[in-house]
Amino acid sequence: MTQVWKVAGMWLVIAAVIWLFSIWQWQTTDATVADRDIVMQLLVLPVMLTVALWLTLRGVQRLRKSPAPAADRAAPTVSLDEQPGSEAALRAATTWLLASAVSLRAGSDADAAWATLQSNPPRPGPDATLFDLDGMPVFAARVEQVDELLASEPDAVLSHPDGRAASVAVQRAWVLMQSVLPPLLDAVSRLIPDETHGGSSREPEDDAAAPSMRAHLSGVAAPVSAQHLAIQEARRPTLTVRLALPARWSVEDQALFVQALRGQCGVLLDWAEATHARALRWQTTPPESVDAVWHEVDQTLARWHRDPAPELLLMLAVDSAIDADEIDGLQARGELFTAHHQQGRIPGEGAAGLLLASPMWPQPGALDVPAILLGRPLLARRDKSADAVGRASTATLQALLEAAATRSPAPADAPPVVVADADHRGSRAAELFESVQDALPAVDAATGVVRLGEVCGDLGAARGVATIALAHAALRQQASPDATTYAVLMQDSHERVVVPLRHAPPPVTSDANADAPPLSAPATA
């Protein structure tokens, strides 16, 4: 019915223009107007132009449609029993989520933040020290503990080599990172092999290789076999640290933050030495956009599935917009929430981190914390901006949620929990709740959908990692072994990301796991 009204309105506009032009032409030229001229110019011509314009617009809309949502929507039901090299198994690839940590307005750790979000916490209010160009207080989601620490510990301030202090946003981000880094470093340190686990120095259990490893009667050790060397080489892990900083920071501030952070990560060097790691890599280039890092994660998980190897990925993200310069920049770009711009963003701040392990690590069934599997991110792009005037379409997000439910289905007696970064904006709330209602009808919108941005504002570069860390905390607290959680990233005007998380199945003993590096219990925060 909507299409009919659109076509009728289009015809009305075209007909009015043609009629006015025709009547004006006939009056100014004093031409004799025949019945045929009236029918052709006032009736047939408007209809023909309307049909031609409508067909052109339909063709343009079809060309602009993104294939990604359709591909995910048409994806068949994925079975984890598929062959490892098959396309279906690659789509269903998962990896271990060993630890998570956050530092947010809602709480200084993931469990505390999740409990706060479920208890109807206060929304961001007017800030006492930040003002817009009209002199009005800015609504902001400030972490009060950061101000207290900066005031009580002057040594926490970052300074450049020439003595200049870093910007206020960088200072606050550094303080936020101090709550996130220790639990994640502790989790990595627990992955160091020791003698009780056999360690990387344990003898091969293969009977064929054992005779060659016995000492000669002369007391000189036997030469190491090629098979043993291959097993040792396969056990050598790799650790990659992916640090996501705001791209708007100056190059000097970014370099200062990275240098200070690496100075606190001596545990990683100890881990690399103890495990004889292949490499310890740092990736510190800011992503092109906040959600671009999930394209990197998706590629990494696909590579882990195609080329099994013991690898760890430590993801760190931090951002802060609680700064007068940041507020001015947001308002200059038309992105700040004000009395005259209700669709703007509420500035916030936070830090978050995740520790992922490749599937080659043995299933941590004996860990003190539940074993969590993180699925490949489902990525899509909206055809139309969610900030455009009019009702926002839910087709893209609904297709991603349906694909996530297919890959990580939830049991009927334990509906999934949806943790989204959606904020106060009505367009985001409407898109989220309508998509969940259509794709996941078993979810109770009142208790099964949590919006992080509604309490913590726009977390910038940290919002994606923080959302998944909270989804991790939500899943750990669910008693059902088949429970599932979906992390939804949707603050961007076009990009949409859904990441499924679920409990791991009971551990299965296999020869492949016997040759994998030992895995100790990681800490979670």
Kindly report, residue by residue over 102-113, the tens digit of the pLDDT. Answer: 999 999 999 999
pLDDT at 383 over 80: yes
C-alpha of 259 from chain center:
25
Q: What is the C-alpha separation between 401 and 363, in angstroms, rounded? A: 27
In this structure, what token pair is assigned to residue 377? 């991110």
Asked if residues 423 and 451 have their Cβ atoms less than 8 Å apart, the reply is yes
* Span 135-158, average pLDDT: 86
Residues 6+ apart with CB under 8 A from 178: 103, 156
CA distance 193 to 198: 7
324 half-sphere exposure, CB direction, 13 A CA radius: 7
What's the pLDDT at 261?
95
- Lowest mean pLDDT of 125-139, 307-321, 466-480, 502-516, name the range: 502-516
At 429, the pLDDT band (50, 70, 90 cuts) reads very high
Is the model's pLDDT at 212 over the cut of 50? no
Q: pLDDT by residue (tens digit) across 245-265? A: 999 999 999 999 999 999 999
User: Which residues are paired to 499 by β-bridges?
Assistant: 487
d(Cα 394, Cα 439) in Å, to the nearest integer?
Answer: 10
Burial 317-340 (b: 16+ CB within 10 A, else e): bbbbbbbeebbeebbeeebbbbee
d(CA 350, CA 88): 36
Other Cβ atoms closer than 10 A to 496:
25
**Angle 195-196-197 (CA atoms, 0-180°, nearest 5)?**
90
Name, in order, each residue with C-beta under 8 angstroms of 227's C-beta and a sequence gap of 6 or more: 204, 206, 208, 209
> Is 60 exceeded by the pLDDT of residue 406?
yes
Q: Could you tell me which residue, 507 or 453, shows the higher pLDDT?
A: 453
Which of 11-20, 239-248, 325-334 has the highest average model confidence (pLDDT)?
Answer: 239-248
Please compute the mean of the pLDDT values over residues 168-172 and round it to a whole number.
92
Contacts of 123 (CB under 8 A, 6+ apart): 424, 454, 455
Lowest mean pLDDT among 218-222, 339-343, 431-435, 519-523: 519-523
Report the percent of the chain where pLDDT is more than 70.
80
- Residue 23's SS3 state is helix
The model's pTM is 0.75
- Of 333, 306, 366, nearest to 458 (Cα)? 333
Length of the chain equals 525
State the Cα–Cα distance between residues 267 and 272, nearest whole angstrom.
9
Residue 78's pLDDT band (cuts 50, 70, 90) = very low
Judged against a pLDDT cut of 60, whether residue 197 lies above it is answered with: no
Q: What gap in Å lies between CA 332 and CA 330, rounded to an integer?
A: 5
Give the range among 57-61, 160-164, 330-334 with minimum mean pLDDT. Answer: 57-61
Task: Tell whether the model's pLDDT for residue 520 goes beyond 80.
Answer: no
CB atoms within 10 A of CB 1: 5
Q: d(Cα 186, Cα 99) in Å, to the nearest integer?
A: 10
Res. 31: pLDDT tops 80: no
What does the alpha-carbon distance between residue 299 and residue 284 come to, in Å, rounded to a whole number? 17
Tell me the sheet residues that pair with 100.
354
Res. 507: pLDDT tops 60: no
CB 334 within 8 A of CB 344: yes
Does residue 395 contact residue 344 with C-beta atoms inside 8 Å? no
Tell me which of 352-366, 435-449, 452-466 is least confident: 352-366
Write down the residue that tokens 């929507």 correspond to.
Answer: 73
Average pLDDT over residues 86-98: 80
pLDDT over 60 at 271, yes or no: yes
HEC states along 246-280?
CCCCCHHHHHHHHHHHHHCCHHHHHHHHHCCCCEE
3-class SS shares of the chain: helix, strand, coil, % to 5 = 40, 20, 40
Residue 399 has pLDDT above 90, yes or no: yes
As a whole number of angstroms, the distance between CA 377 and CA 340 comes to: 36
Within the chain, how many helices (H) and strands (E) appear?
Answer: 18, 13
Question: Is the pLDDT at 407 greater than 80, yes or no?
Answer: yes
User: In the predicted model, what is the mean pLDDT of residues 190-201?
Assistant: 51
Model pLDDT for residues 354-365, shown as the tens digit of each residue = 999 998 875 454
Q: What is the mean pLDDT of residues 432-436?
A: 94
Residue 462 confidence (pLDDT) above 90: yes
User: In terms of Cα–Cα distance, which of 237, 449, 470 is closest to 353?
Assistant: 470
Least confident window among 315-319, 411-415, 518-522: 518-522
Per the CB < 8 A criterion, the answer to whether 289 and 495 are in contact is yes
Secondary structure in 3-state letters for 312-380: EEEEEEEEECCCHHHHHHHHHCCCECECCECCCECEEEEEEEEEEECCCCCCCCCCCCCCEEEECCEEE
**Quick one: pLDDT at residue 205?**
41
Distance of alpha carbon 295 from the chain centroid: 9
Question: Which pLDDT score is estimated for 165?
Answer: 83
pLDDT above 70: residue 323:
yes
